[in-house]
Amino acid sequence: MHIGDARKNKRPKANSLTILEEKALKTFLKPMSNLGNPVRIKFLPSLAFSIARQRFTTNKATKPLGKSWA
């Protein structure tokens, strides 16, 4: 991986998910919707938080996303 590639995957600190994490969330959500079981918007912050929490290897507490994150 080149340095430029790593920069492309980073987001400003205000964003909760990296580009790859957003793609993973989208990869999960699209088939659910296609099968007729779309995920409600109110559940998106908890799904995104679960994905974001996986990137932290320390026991440091992370703050859950807000209700209006989606």
Q: Is residue 12 part of a domain?
A: yes
Q: Is residue 23 part of a domain?
A: yes
Q: Is 67 in a helix, a strand, or coil?
A: coil
The domain in which residue 14 lies consists of: 3-53
The pLDDT of residue 3: 53
Q: Is residue 69 part of a domain?
A: no
Both tokens of residue 37?
Answer: 């079981």
- Element housing 38 (H / E): none
Comparing 53 with 9, the larger pLDDT belongs to 53
Q: Is residue 61 part of a domain?
A: no
The pLDDT of residue 21: 87
Contact criterion met (CB below 8 Å) for 41 and 68: no
- pLDDT per position as a tens digit, 13-53: 456 788 888 899 999 999 999 999 898 988 888 888 888 88
- pLDDT per position as a tens digit, 45-57: 888 888 888 876 6
pLDDT bucket at 5, cuts 50 / 70 / 90: low
Q: Is residue 70 part of a domain?
A: no
How far apart CA 68 and CA 66 sit, in angstroms, is 5
Both tokens of residue 57?
Answer: 């290897």
Q: Which amino acid is at 29?
A: L
